[in-house]
Structure 1
Amino acid sequence: MAQNSRSADLDFAADLFKAADKMRGGLEPSEYKHVALGLIFLKYISEAFQAMHDQLAQDEFADPEDPEEYLAENVFWVPETARWSHIQQNARSENIGKIIDDAMEAIEAEPTNETLKGVLPKNYARPTLDKTMLGELVDLFSNVKMHDSADRARDLLGRVYEYFISGFASAEGKRGGEFFTPRSVVRTLVEMLEPYQGRVYDPCCGSGGMFIQSEKFIEDHGGNPLNLSVYGQEINHTTWRLAKMNLAVHGIDADIAWDSAGSFHKDAHPRLKADYILSNPPFNNLRLGR
Structure 2
Amino acid sequence: IYDPCCGSGGMFVQSEKFVEAHGGKIGDIAIYGQESNPTTRRLAVMNLALRGIEADFGPEHADTFRRDLHPDLRADYVLANPPFNDSDWFRKDDDVRWQYGVPPRGNANFAWVQHFIHHLAPAAPGSSGGMAGFVLANGSMSSNQSGEGTIRQALIEADLVDCMVALPGQLFYSTQIPVCLWFLAKSKAADAKRGFRERRKQTLFIDARKMGTLIDRVHRELTEADNAKIVNTYHAWRGDVVAGGADPGPNGLNAAVYNDIPGFCKSATTKEISSHGYVLTPGRFVGAEEAEDDGEPFEKKMPRLVGELRAQFAESAKLEQAIKENLERLGYAG
Per the normalisation by structure 2, the TM-score is 0.25
Q: Which structure: greater strand fraction?
A: 2
Q: Which structure: greater helix fraction?
A: 1
- Structure number with greater Rg is 2
